[in-house]
């Protein structure tokens, strides 16, 4: 657990020392500049500086509270989108801060002294503003980075304690530096901590991109580069240290891995090539006596204080006392590190509302389970530490209990309580979570659907060969499209075909020699030749090889198994792939058939949904009818293109296809969530 405190201790120490140096320089500057610009015997008070510092601290704390509050009232997808976006922003800000400190370190003291001199000529209020702006930036950056680091680690207590210790150390160092009782090489300190900070930022970036993938903003959440979660204990001390310091996780997608490596390599390279050095600490000076600001300026200082302090305090108060999503009739359910809903009490049958508060220090999944059927009546898939979320559900008479699942903690359940009351208006009974056995019939039925499609495909390729043998290239183009659309209609099985699938429908982009590579075979190889002027004689061997590959796949089909858990995922990904590949021209080798292929993908999606209907309807009765209406609208939009290529289709028609496809994808993304096989 405490491994998660280490990177945040570094953040607190470094950012606190930067802000502390700014304050030290300001105080030293006002002693010199203030004495030279005032009547003999009178010194300017440093109170405005401390006023600005306090206002900046309050602003940073309020900013962190706002982030936490608004994340807690978002949906799971909204939380992932917010967390991922803020992680990327935090990495950008921290990276800029690292290079800014290297670039401006030498001149920092002189610049701040000049600002103090200018501020004193205006008013002490301007001096307070100077301190506020100088320290406020560091505070907001720290709050943002600590928030994203806590989200990445899934814990709150350890990161906050680490940050607090780091800030406390920074304060002590700054006091000692100011009094010249210690001397450290600040340039060396900032350089070495910057290198460690870059490593931490790379991990936060990878985590943030993973959140954006889970939210559906970025593609590729199923393109897993590695998954060590089944081979290592994520709660072991050594795994905790690695994940705590680097913010990496045992399971990462290719996008996360590539982003981590590219960021780490490029930023470290540029940083190590930099030749500037950090500034030396300000010279030691004795602290002058303090006097109050001139009476004529006191009201100005008061007004500035109110302007700087009151809004952040008001925002913080709003965060503390705002009810969030909880309603007046909502019962609070707590999750701790040792208990699941220890304080929940039985309610009557019918509609109920519960506000689940996570005090476990871990990210948890919370289920309200009907004891008799083991069905989930309501659930929160992801609830971050120190956050809360309200869920509403309908209960029938009978026993219910809460189940709390968290990485690094044992699975916990609450006591089973009996729900009683009038059942006349009772909702339907809860439905059990799906199992692999529940999904197997859909996978088996889909495999039966694929078999005759391959027979049809083989016949269509034979027709293409006849066209080529007789030199009828236009007929071959027409018959090629029919074969390609047949293949598109079996989209949910692609991942099970292995090398045979690549041989039948592979693309040239990843091959060393592209379209001229000998490994470029199958339907798209025929497409390239037919639309790029290759002769019928040259394409006959391609058709023969395709015939052989389809025949081989037919022979393998009885031994091939479709992973049942892939079926809900493919219900969404068939059209997601169409949007990414077909409509963006990635699979077009000359035919311009993106809209026809997408139409075939709609048909394949409908088949998958039909196989999953017995599982989906009890869990979300209105989902499939809604999706079907959207698929019908999408089909009409595709037909309205008159099957032109996207490049030659009017903009209005293109936008209608894209809009309707985006709408249906949003609802299709619920299918994998509803039919997810629980990991516990």
Residue 328's Cβ-count burial label (10 Å; 0-12, 13-18, 19+) is exposed
Q: Write down the pLDDT at residue 21.
A: 64
DSSP three-state, residue 599: helix
pLDDT tens per residue across span 599-644: 999 999 999 999 999 999 988 888 999 999 999 999 999 999 999 9
DSSP class per residue in 528-580:
HHHHTT--HHHHHHHHHHHHHHHHHHHHHTTT----TTHHHHHHHHHHHHIII
Low-confidence ranges of the chain (pLDDT < 50): 1-2, 34-41, 72, 234-235, 237, 275-328, 424-426
pLDDT at residue 387, rounded to an integer: 76
| pLDDT of amino acid 268 | 81
Question: How far is the CA of 241 from the CAs of 247, 265, 354, 540, 561, in angstroms?
Answer: 10, 22, 36, 60, 39
| pTM to 2 decimal places | 0.49
Note the pLDDT of residue 243. Answer: 58
Q: What's the pLDDT at 103?
A: 61
510-529 pLDDT, tens digit each: 788 889 999 999 999 999 99
Q: Using one digit for the tens of pLDDT, what is the confidence trace for 550-572?
A: 999 888 888 877 788 888 988 88
* Structural element, H or E, at residue 333: strand 331-336
Residue 492: predicted pLDDT: 55
Q: What is the pLDDT of residues 203-239, one digit of tens each?
A: 778 877 887 887 778 887 767 777 665 555 544 545 5
What is the b/e burial string over 657-676, where b = at least 16 CB atoms within 10 angstroms of the residue's CB? beebbeebbebbbbbbebbe
């Amino acid at each position: 657990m405490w491994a998660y405190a280490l990177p945040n201790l570094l953040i607190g120490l470094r950012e606190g020392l930067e802000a502390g140096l700014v304050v030290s320089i300001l105080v030293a500057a006002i002693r010199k500049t203030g004495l030279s610009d005032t009547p003999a015997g009178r010194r300017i008070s440093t109170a405005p500086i401390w006023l600005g510092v306090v206002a900046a601290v309050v602003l940073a704390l309020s900013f962190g509270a706002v982030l936490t509050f608004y994340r807690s009232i978002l949906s799971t997808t909204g939380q992932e989108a917010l967390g991922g976006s803020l992680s990327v922003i935090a990495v950008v800000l921290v990276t800029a801060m690292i290079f800014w400190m290297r670039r401006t370190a030498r001149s920092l003291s002189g610049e701040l002294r000049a600002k103090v001199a200018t501020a004193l000529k205006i008013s002490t209020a301007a001096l307070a503003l100077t301190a506020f702006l100088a320290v406020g930036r560091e505070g907001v950056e720290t709050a943002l980075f600590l928030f994203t680091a806590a989200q990445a680690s899934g814990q709150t207590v350890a990161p906050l304690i680490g940050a607090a210790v780091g800030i406390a150390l920074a304060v002590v160092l700054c006091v000692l530096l100011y009094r010249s009782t210690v001397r450290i090489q600040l340039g060396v300190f900032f350089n070495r901590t910057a290198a460690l900070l870059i490593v931490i930022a790379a991990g936060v970036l990878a985590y943030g991109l993973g959140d954006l993938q889970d939210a559906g903003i970025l593609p590729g959440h199923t393109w897993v580069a590695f998954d060590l979660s089944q081979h290592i204990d994520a709660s072991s001390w050594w795994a905790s240290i690695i994940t705590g310091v680097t913010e990496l996780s045992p399971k990462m997608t290719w996008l996360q891995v590539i982003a981590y490596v590219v960021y780490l390599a490029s930023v470290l390279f540029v940083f190590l090539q930099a030749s500037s050095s950090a500034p030396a600490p300000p010279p030691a000076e004795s602290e002058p006596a303090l006097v109050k600001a001139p009476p004529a300026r006191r009201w100005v200082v008061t007004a500035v204080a109110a302007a700087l302090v009151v809004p952040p305090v008001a925002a913080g108060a709003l965060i503390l006392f705002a009810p969030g999503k909880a309603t007046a009739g909502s019962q609070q359910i707590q999750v701790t590190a040792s208990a699941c809903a220890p304080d929940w009490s039985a309610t009557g049958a019918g509609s109920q509302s519960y506000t689940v508060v996570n005090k476990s220090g871990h990210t948890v999944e919370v289920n309200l389970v009907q004891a008799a059927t083991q069905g989930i009546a309501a659930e929160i898939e992801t609830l971050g530490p120190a956050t809360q979320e309200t869920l509403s559900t309908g209960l029938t008479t009978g026993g219910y209990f809460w189940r709390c699942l968290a990485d690094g903690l044992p699975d916990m359940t609450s006591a089973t309580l009996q729900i009683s009351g009038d059942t006349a208006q009772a909702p339907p009974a809860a439905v059990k979570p799906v199992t692999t056995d529940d999904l197997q019939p859909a996978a088996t039925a889909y495999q039966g659907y694929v078999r005759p499609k391959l027979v049809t495909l083989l016949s269509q390729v034979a027709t293409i060969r006849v066209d080529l043998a007789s030199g009828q290239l236009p007929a071959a183009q027409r018959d090629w499209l029919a074969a390609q659309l047949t293949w598109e209609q079996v989209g949910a099985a692609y991942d099970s075909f292995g090398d045979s699938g690549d041989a039948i429908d592979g693309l040239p982009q990843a091959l060393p020699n592209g379209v001229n590579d000998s490994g470029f075979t199958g339907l798209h190889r025929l497409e390239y030749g037919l639309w790029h002027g290759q002769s019928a004689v040259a394409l006959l061997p391609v058709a023969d090889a395709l015939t052989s590959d389809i025949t081989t796949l037919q022979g393998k089909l009885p031994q091939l198994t479709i992973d049942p858990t892939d079926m809900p995922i493919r219900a969404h990904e068939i059209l997601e792939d169409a949007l990414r590949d077909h409509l963006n021209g990635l699979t077009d080798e000359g035919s311009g058939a993106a809209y026809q292929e997408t139409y075939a993908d709609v048909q394949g999606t409908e088949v998958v949904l039909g196989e999953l209907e017995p599982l989906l309807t009890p869990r979300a009765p209105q989902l499939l009818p809604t999706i079907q209406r959207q698929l019908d609208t999408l089909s009409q939009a595709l037909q309205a293109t008159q099957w032109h290529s996207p490049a030659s289709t009017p903009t209005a028609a293109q936008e209608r296809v894209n809009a309707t496809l985006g709408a249906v994808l949003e609802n299709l993304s619920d299918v994998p969530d509803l039919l997810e096989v629980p990991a516990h």
